[in-house]
Amino acid sequence: MKRLLAVLPLFFLLACQRPEVEAFKRNPSPIVVAFTIPAEVPTGAEVQKEYAAALRAKLATRTTVVPEGVKAPENAAELRVVITELGGRRGEPSPATVGVITGVAIGALSAMAGHRDAVFDGFFWGLWAGSHASGARRHHEARLGYRPQQMEAQVALYRAGDPEPLSSFAVEPFEIINAMDPLSRAEKDDEFRVREEEAKAFARVVVFKIQERFNWMPLPKPSWYGVQGGTPKEADGPAAEEQKPAKPSTAPEPPQPPETPAKG
């Protein structure tokens, strides 16, 4: 009986696995990445392009990905990413604001419940929330060297012609921040470099969750659909890097014959 109870969760887990998920896990089709970002984001097009490129590059280390600008096959799966929140570094509420809002909300709820110490409840929880927000911000800034923005997203992977997702999950701000790498002093004030690191961290979180779901191992090299011999630089990012100027030749110049004096 004890052995039966021990293996019962495993049987339950296997029974809950959908056949199409198992089939996709063993033989995945190429994946198209589709991004949706709020229209109110000032540089939404640039952010969308950079985040999508980073996600494609990271996902291609686990399975075959369709680059931007390449026609997808008919059986291609689609990874839909919907950004639900993208808070600017300058526009996020201060710890004091967080404390005041929390305190007022808790105090009002406590008063509605008939507690005599509603004012104390609001003050206590407001102080706690403000202190917690301040401490978390200082910790992230000290570790990273810059203040990251808050981002939330909903991610779902769909097979071709199937309205039911193979996998869906949420991406929380703390997951992205924990996946970020620190920047040097020279880079921490560079807005474009900070955004690049945020995009890479987001890609790490998404691919990690997909890898947990489908148990895909890292590939020897990135796999791109419809691309022969390397990474699709022109498709997934800005134009190729400018050509470097040719290095001056280091070969010695041939000796020049001595000039003959003019005859007088």
pLDDT for residue 177? 84
Can you tell me the mean pLDDT for 253-260?
52
183 sits in the region (left: phi over 0; alpha: psi -120 to 50; else beta) called beta
pLDDT band at 255 (very low <50, low <70, confident <90, very high): low
With respect to residue 13, please indicate whether it lies within any of the assigned structural domains: no
Is the pLDDT higher at 256 or at 119? 119
Q: Does some domain include residue 249? A: no
Within a domain: residue 54?
yes
Summarised one tens digit per residue, pLDDT across range 54-87 is 999 999 999 999 999 899 999 999 999 998 887 6
Same domain (yes/no): 58, 120: no
Last residue of a domain, one of 112, 147, 182: 147
Domain region containing 173: 18-89+149-237
Provide the pLDDT for residue 144: 63
Burial of 2 (0-12, 13-18, 19+ CB in 10 A): exposed
Q: What is the pLDDT of residues 4-63, one digit of tens each?
A: 455 445 444 444 567 888 888 889 999 999 998 877 777 778 888 899 999 999 999 999
**Torsion angles phi and psi, residue 68, rounded to 5:** -65, 135
- Give pLDDT, residue 61: 94
Per-residue pLDDT tens for 190-210? 778 888 888 999 999 999 999
* Coil, helix or strand at residue 57: helix
Label residue 180 by pLDDT band (50, 70, 90): confident
HSE at residue 102, side-chain half, CA atoms within 13 A, is 19
Report long-range pairs for 182-185 (Cβ below 8 Å, ≥24 apart).
182/143, 182/144, 182/145, 183/144, 183/145, 183/146, 184/145, 185/145
- Let me know: does 182 contact 143? Beta carbons within 8 Å: yes
Least confident of 45-49, 138-142, 149-153, 200-204: 138-142
3-class DSSP state for residue 199?
helix
Q: Could you write out the DSSP letters of every residue in 71-136?
A: PPPTT-EEEEEEEEEEE-TTTSPPHHHHHHHHHHHHHHHHHHTT-TTHHHHHHHHHHHHHHHHHHH
Residues 104 and 82 both lie in one domain: no
In this predicted structure, what is the pLDDT of residue 256?
55
Count: domains in the chain: 2
| Residue 261 resides in a domain | no
Q: In the chain, what percentage of residues exceed pLDDT 70?
A: 59
Q: Which domain-ending residue is among 112, 132, 147?
A: 147
**Model pTM score:** 0.64
Give the DSSP per-residue string, 151-174.
EEEEEEEE-TT-SS-SEEEEE-HH
